[in-house]
Structure formats: structure tokens, C-alpha cells
Amino acid sequence: MTRRCPLSLVLAAVVLLSPARGAIAESLPDQAPRYCQVRSANHRINVAVEQGLRDSATFRALVDRINASDVIVYIADATGLPPGIDGQLTFLSAAGGFRYVVVHVNSTLSKPRLVSLIGHELQHAREIADTGAIIDALSMAREYAAGLGYHNRLSANDGRTFDSRAAVTAGEQVLREVLMGE
């Protein structure tokens, strides 16, 4: 399935067909359609996503894969994460042909580390996008326990916290690419 962000086509049509093209183009955030299925209301997180898109091919590939899927990712500032955990993805809901996840991140990290952390969590979102059997929190836990990932022993969250080698690798790669781009 290749699903693209329909908003980007509408915005492009408005900009190209409008007689006041210059004024509209300047007032629309041209980056928004690039990551329309990865969303945040937090300015610092949005700046980090922009940096990831600009400086990291790995980050861009993750966002592109998510944009082509049925997964919508909301990224919010972390509240109530266990000590020692800077980020966590939670399956929220499946409705209207989409699967919704929320990612909580510690937005007080340095900018490169925050971009890396978001890249790590976006890899988890990609894993969900690539695994059609994940349709709720229970099926997500089942798939990770069955080999998609492994139990994260660092968490005190009743044994239902997982990680994956692919997410660790993606976060490390994003960090390398961001540091080279600065």
C-alpha cells in the first residue's frame, strides 16, 4: 500500500493556482506535508523533526515509510516516564483505516540527542507499519514478545516494555548523521 499525504497535493494546488502565489507560499509552512503523519504540537519537538529531516537520510527514510503507511504518529513531551527512560511509544487506537500511536519523549535533551531519540521511536512506528497484525496494545506486545523486539529490562513498567535492535541501530545512525550535518 502506498498512501501519500493528501494534504500536500491540496496545498500544492492552492499555491500553484492562486493569483497571490507569493504571499500564500510564504505563509504556508513548506515542511508540513513532508511529515504529515508524524505530528506534534510542541515547538521544540517540531524543530527536532525538521533537523532530522534536513540532516539525516535515515530519519527521512523512516518518515517516508510512515507517510506511506496507515500509521499516524503523535509526538508529545514526556510526562510520567519511568526513571531512566527518555522515550516511549504507546499504541493508542485503530480507527478509520489508520493505526494511531503516541510517542512521549524527553524534550529537554540536547537537540542532537532529541533527534536521535525521535528517530529511535520512529523506527518502532515503522515496525508497526510493517506488521499488519499489530492492531492494538495487546497485539503489539504479542508481536514484540514473539521476536519483533525484546523485553526492555531497564523499565519498571510491569514487563510490557519492549525495544528492538533495529530501533537502537536507527537511533545511533540518526545521531551520527545529525552530528555530521551540524
85-132 confidence digits (pLDDT tens): 899 999 999 999 999 999 999 999 999 999 999 999 999 999 999 999
In a domain, 26, yes or no: no
Tell me how far apart the alpha carbons of residues 18 and 139 are, in angstroms, rounded to a whole number: 47
Domain extent, residue 62, equals: 33-181
Whether residue 10 is predicted with pLDDT greater than 60 in this model: the reply is no
Mean pLDDT on 144-160: 65
Tell me, yes or no, whether 102 lies in a domain.
yes
64 lies in some domain:
yes
pLDDT, mean over the chain = 81
pLDDT at 99: 98
Domain count, the chain: 1
The arithmetic mean of pLDDT across residues 62-68, rounded, is 97
